[in-house]
Structure 1
Amino acid sequence: MRILGCLDGTNSEQIQQAIATLVNNHEAVIGLIYVIDSGPRDEIGRKRSQLLRPLRASGQQEERIEAAEIAAAQDIFYEGKRGLAGAETLQRQGRPELEIVNTAAAWNADLIVIGTRSFQHLAPAIGPKSVGHVARFVLDHAPCPVLLVRPTDHHGFPIVR
């Protein structure tokens, strides 16, 4: 079985627990994917060009930004691999939802394990625990089954009627 765990920088514990519950590390090939999202940088550039003159970033500034993104990705992989020592790391850059689906297909994943959304702590304590746009896209377009995991939340339980 080939399991692809999707890391977002906030969900490594949930992904590790879900994969460990499913299989023993020696029974499966585990891949961990982290996508450096190019969207925010592109959006900032578009907004700036609409409002002001286009920003001509220096090569050094671009290199520093890229180095910081790569360093953050390595930290996220380190956290993700703590409980999954033999996991393969797959770093991509682009739109996370597309990169996850395309990587799952190319990597021949049998299962994708993904969190509900990044920044879960911003969700309201009461009300629907909706999935984010990346998880929704993966659920709708994945080439294999998807396991959706969310952080354990015992706050407000049991529900009183």
Structure 2
Amino acid sequence: MTVVVWIVEGTWPACVDAARAHAPVEADISLLHVTPAEVPGAAHGAFAGLLGRGRSWGHRPAEGWGSDPGTRMEHLAATSAAQLLQEAADRLGRPCTRIERTGRVEREVVTSAQGADLLIVARDGDRSHLGPRSLGPAVRFVVDHAPCPLLLVWPEPAPGVATMPPPPPQPPHHG
């Protein structure tokens, strides 16, 4: 059995705990972290735009104004991803593969789940109520497009059924 566990800041412990509880001991577990490409890309673009205006920057230290902030952000993101994956691997407490990807987060997760037997994902939206708003856009995309069975977990105890949205109004019955 191959299990992919999507590791996201803030919700990853619940996903790792679900893998520990639901994946057989002999399962091949991959911990997946995806860094969004748009953040470093926006910094690269902003920096290039500033340079394109012919602005004189004067003396630039190696890590100061002369450095492309997108490159610095890429390094910070890689360090953060590695730390998060290490913490997740430690919590899992058994052999696993760590996968770091960069790109459109939701698409990278779906692509990484191709061929898996199970994908474990945590809710990332409004978690104070039961219902569709408990899924943010990225998780909603993954739920809708996952190429394998999916285990959707609450990062904390689920709210009670009293928080469920009311049913839609029923049209009048004409008999």
Superposition TM-score, scaled by structure 1 size: 0.77
CA distance in 1, matches of 2:42, 2:70: 16
In the TM superposition, what is the alpha-carbon distance from 1:131 to its structure 2 partner?
0.4
How much has 1:40 moved relative to structure 2?
3.3
Residue 49 of structure 2 corresponds to which residue in structure 1? 54
Q: What's the RMSD between the two structures over aligned residues?
A: 2.8
In the TM superposition, what whole-angstrom CA distance separates every residue of 1:60-89 from its partner, at most 9, and x where no partner exists?
Answer: 533322111111001110121112231101
Q: Which residue among 136, 147, 152 is the counterpart of 2:151?
A: 147
For structure 2, list consecutive stretches of 5 or more residues without a partner in the other structure. Answer: 52-64, 164-175
Q: Which structure 1 segments of 5+ residues have no match?
A: none
1:78 matched to 2:81? The reply is no
Structure-2 change in CA distance of 1:64 and 1:43 (3 Å): closer
**In structure 1, what is the Cα distance between the partners aligned to 2:117 and 2:2?**
5
**Residue 23 (structure 1) shift:** 2.5
Over 3 Å counting, the alpha-carbon distance change for 1:144 and 1:127 in structure 2 is closer
1:92 has 2:101 as partner:
yes
| Equivalence for 2:136 | 132
CA contact (8 A) 2:40 2:70 kept: no
Please list the CA deviations of residues 95-145 of structure 1 after superposition, one character each: whole Å capped at 9, or x if unmatched: 11010111111xx2111101111xx5xx36356452011111111111111
Contact 1:2-1:30 within 8 A present in 2 as well = yes
Larger radius of gyration between Structure 1 and Structure 2? 2
Which residue identity lines up with residue 116 of structure 1 in the other structure?
A: R
Q: Corresponding residue for 1:37?
A: 36
Amino acid at match of 1:153: P
Q: How does 1:109-124 map to 2 (within 5 A)?
A: 109-117=116-124, 123=126
Letter in 2 for 1:55: L
Amino acid at match of 1:142: A
Structure 2 letter corresponding to 1:76? L
CA contact (8 A) 1:45 1:55 kept: no
Matching residue of 1:2 = 2
How many residue pairs match? The answer is 148
Q: State the secondary structure of the residue aligned to 2:121.
A: strand
TM-score, length-scaled by structure 2: 0.71
Q: Which residue of 1 aligns with 2:166?
A: none
